[in-house]
Amino acid sequence: MSDLPRKEFDFAVVGGGLVGMAIAWGIAGRGRKVVVLDGGDLDFRASRGNFALVWVQSKGAGMPEYGSWTLQSSQLWPQLASALNEQTGLDVCFSKPGGLHLLLSDREMENRACALKRLHNQPGMEALEYEMLDHSVLEKMLPQIGPEVAGASFCPQDGHVNALRLLRALHVAFGRLGGEYRSNHLVQRIESRRGEFSLSTADGVVTAEKLVLAAGLGNFRLAPMVGLNAPVRPQRGQIIITEKVAPFVSYVVHTIRQTDEGGIMISDSVEEAEYDASVGTEVLSVMAARAVRMFPLLARLNVVRCWAALRVMPQDGFPIYDQSQSCPGAFIATCHSGVTLAANHALVLPALIDAGALPSKELQAFSTQRFDVPAAH
């Protein structure tokens, strides 16, 4: 018999946001004993401040595999929503009415049409249904659009969800499977020794046979502790929420969506602001002005809340999934678009991680090896 002490857990997942919880739920569903070690309320947490789109159109420029991966997740989303509903009774309000990217001038129409054509002309890009719509066609779909709207691109695969309820449902479902969630357990140090990972927190050491780093922006610091590389940076986005109104946006608009509760969310900012998550009227007023040009009736609504949150943005914008070569059993999963990709993270990745099969052939493009480019001399 081995004289090694028994590890407490089969898997430790670091990070209890959408990425960590989706994977933890999937692994726990495979009968593994899983602990999630998460930070606290003062951390940067994209999962609590996002725009909640399940967005497919325009994904994959520069990496067609990302287009396919995104499409696959959108197709798996109904399965995720119903599994969570069955296990928790919570409705995450997933719907796929199709998405519109509204454009405010002929110039914007032209640029958008070219960008989508370039995307779909890439070798290896999976065919995705989309079309460019002019004002008159669009007006029949969205009668409330303003006269300045020149048209839109439309993709029937786009949808949205209630992202906070999704996070809650994942937590509840994980708990029902016997998973253990520990809040305020920031992992400070990770050591790998004799087939076991020791994770040091202020509350003591946790041991596990395998490890998944899903700590969002925290992955940047943690990954090198197990021989991985996670070049992620913060990218700020600001969001405006209006009072609740009767339904009038029956499709998902890229920057404006009506939640299941009736409020309008406006999100149109992408800012390089390092770790500054403050809101600013300069950006908010530009977002609001553009939204009112799209839907003039928005000018009559009261704004009830605004916030800023930091995206977890990989260096090249694409997801990172890998297993450490020097510390086998240590995995990393991090990405922007963790709402869209939640179905893949919950229903596809766990089996690969559990089998130690990352990087798989299918996910090779997302390996950290793509960052190992020798410097030019």
Ligand X SMILES: Cc1cc2nc3c(=O)[nH]c(=O)nc-3n(C[C@H](O)[C@H](O)[C@H](O)COP(=O)(O)OP(=O)(O)OC[C@H]3O[C@@H](n4cnc5c(N)ncnc54)[C@H](O)[C@@H]3O)c2cc1C
**Residues binding ligand X (CB under 6 A):** 14-20, 37-39, 43-47, 49-53, 55, 186-187, 214-216, 218, 222, 237, 239, 267, 309-312, 334-340
Q: How far is the CB of 200 from ligand X (least distance, A)?
A: 10
Q: How far is the CB of 112 from ligand X (least distance, A)?
A: 18
Structure token pair of residue 46? 């994209």
Residue 81 phi, psi (nearest 5): -60, -40
**Pairwise CA distance, residues 14 & 35, whole Å:** 8
**Pairwise CA distance, residues 317 & 315, whole Å:** 6
Q: How far is the CB of 266 from ligand X (least distance, A)?
A: 11
**Pairwise CA distance, residues 13 & 372, whole Å:** 25
**3-class state of residue 205 by DSSP:** strand
Q: How far is the CB of 148 from ligand X (least distance, A)?
A: 24
When the beta carbons of 60 and 216 are compared against ligand X, the nearer one is: 216
Q: How far is the CB of 2 from ligand X (least distance, A)?
A: 29
213 within 8 A of 28, measured Cβ to Cβ:
no
When the beta carbons of 138 and 332 are compared against ligand X, the nearer one is: 332
The stretches of 122-162 forming alpha helices (DSSP H) are 135-141
- Comparing CA positions, the residue from 90, 22, 78, 21 lying closest to residue 54 is 78
When the beta carbons of 103 and 214 are compared against ligand X, the nearer one is: 214
When the beta carbons of 38 and 150 are compared against ligand X, the nearer one is: 38
When the beta carbons of 16 and 98 are compared against ligand X, the nearer one is: 16
When the beta carbons of 190 and 298 are compared against ligand X, the nearer one is: 190
Q: How far is the CB of 25 from ligand X (least distance, A)?
A: 12
When the beta carbons of 150 and 251 are compared against ligand X, the nearer one is: 251
CA 282 to chain centre: 26
Q: How far is the CB of 186 from ligand X (least distance, A)?
A: 4
Residue 213 phi, psi (nearest 5): -85, 115
Residue 73 phi, psi (nearest 5): -65, -40
**Pairwise CA distance, residues 93 & 289, whole Å:** 29
User: Tokens 């930091």, residue?
Assistant: 310
